[in-house]
Structure 1
């Protein structure tokens, strides 16, 4: 099931659960689509409805222009996650460039007087302070196939390098999201009063625990980074462990926020943690 804005992101409900107490929006990494979070479905409890977004420029929408303006994208995403037709609390999780999408969407919601999520998880990306993205990305973008391998989380097979249409399909949305990061300009605002979770891979060449911790100055309550075995795309190897940790962290945040009733007044199944 999906709701669509013709030239903007689409909400994709990966596992429709209208009686679930909380919606979890997974914002995808560079070049990826909503199906990035599909493996999480097997590890979601009944009280969580898992959603994502499909962006123009990739997958079934590859013929559409990508969105590379962070302010424009965050405004569009704010209208999706804070759905006026759905009063349930929601949480957000962003991996890699999805972490910046999540962060700027929350800031946009606050500026516009919208609802903030009950919890936010940021993964495999450092905070945007001090021009961090330009400093980190530009060396990769000028380093040929080695830089591309770092960006996609693994080596690029030689046969793939020789397939121009395939490389264009892979590289175009990836480069579009790199532009999204490079176009971002951080501005000082008060810390976000949203419970925070930080996640990363133990061998991620782009983001270590110290870099993950840079998000803490942008939130009211700091979080200790949780590291899982793997590199930048550790999510592929650690799906179950990560998803279960995210669910536990959301449950804890819901308890603190007093989330007790589902959307139709039934007793909520969010467990005590």
Structure 2
């Protein structure tokens, strides 16, 4: 859950063209010859820009890509996906040309379910699978609690966004911005709340579960139960990291989250060495 902040709330850095001509992909960082690709999936109502600040913490060896769902920002006029299956298929179409090097998937909240579905869809297409999958702020598909928020009125939906954090009161108080945010959130809530994951064979890649200790969606206590259910979805190792914070713990803890991802992707990415990275914006 959660909503994307207005573009004015995020420092603007022009993204470089992705290696695929797709409205679904934003490229936030990467050198001339990166060795790894990190593909990030946003939360409900979120945008690719949510991951843009990660670029300041990502070395040139890693190409940082983020998925832009339809129905928000510059894709406001694009038709929305009918359900999780349609959304995942479209994302798979967009990322398929970009899997020419080892890659990992990172999804926050709804994005963790999209990442899991995407890994299975790519396997079904006989494309390379992810080296690792990072699931943030949500219990595993099939075990996560679902509701009927997409059927609720604007005030109820706004109250839920305020409860989870991640959406400023200024945005919710502005009628124009609030309408844009709630439209995207309601659409994404419908996708995740009507999503019923089919029975599938477990993945073979390691799973890394990250969450905030005060996250109402997946707090520290729920993580004790088979890593929020994620441990049952892979034959490889499952690792859990709980950081201080609420559902959007990964914003104030950005540096720790990115460092965790890089270290698990390849330990050499966080050894320092000759790298000099700018401070977090």
What band does the TM-score fall into relative to the shorter chain?
A: 0.7 to 0.9
Shift of the 155–108 alpha-carbon distance from structure 1 to 2, 3 Å rule, reads closer
Which residue of the other structure, out of 204, 222, 233, is the alignment partner of 2:248? 233
Shift of the 229–140 alpha-carbon distance from structure 1 to 2, 3 Å rule, reads farther
What residue is the counterpart of 2:10 in the other structure? none
What residue is the counterpart of 1:264 in the other structure? none
5 Å matches for 1:121-136?
121-130=134-143, 132-135=144-147
Give unmatched runs, 5+ long, in structure 1.
Answer: 253-268
**In the aligned structure 2, how far is the partner of 1:139 from the partner of 1:55?**
17
What residue is the counterpart of 1:246 in the other structure? 261
TM-score (norm 1): 0.82
1:70 aligns with 2:84: yes
**In the aligned structure 1, how far is the partner of 2:121 from the partner of 2:29?**
27
Q: CA deviation at 1:36?
A: 0.7
Conservation of the 8 A alpha-carbon contact between 1:18 and 1:49: no
Conservation of the 8 A alpha-carbon contact between 1:24 and 1:92: yes
Shift of the 219–86 alpha-carbon distance from structure 1 to 2, 3 Å rule, reads closer
1:36-55 deviations in whole A, cap 9, x for unaligned? 11111111122111111122
Query: Pairwise CA RMSD of aligned residues?
Result: 2.5
Q: Is the partner of 2:217 in helix, strand or coil?
A: coil
**In the aligned structure 2, how far is the partner of 1:140 from the partner of 1:217?**
31
Higher helix share: 1
What residue is the counterpart of 2:238 in the other structure? 223
TM-score (norm 2): 0.80
1:116 aligns with 2:129: yes
Conservation of the 8 A alpha-carbon contact between 1:202 and 1:231: yes
**In the aligned structure 1, how far is the partner of 2:262 from the partner of 2:105?**
11
1:234-265 deviations in whole A, cap 9, x for unaligned? 1110010110011001115xxxxxxxxxxxxx
**In the aligned structure 2, how far is the partner of 1:233 from the partner of 1:106?**
24
Q: CA deviation at 1:224?
A: 3.0
Conservation of the 8 A alpha-carbon contact between 1:92 and 1:102: yes
1:43 aligns with 2:57: yes
What residue is the counterpart of 1:60 in the other structure? 74
Q: Is the partner of 1:225 in helix, strand or coil?
A: strand
Shift of the 23–154 alpha-carbon distance from structure 1 to 2, 3 Å rule, reads closer
What residue is the counterpart of 2:196 in the other structure? 185
Q: CA deviation at 1:186?
A: 1.4
Q: Is the partner of 1:246 in helix, strand or coil?
A: helix
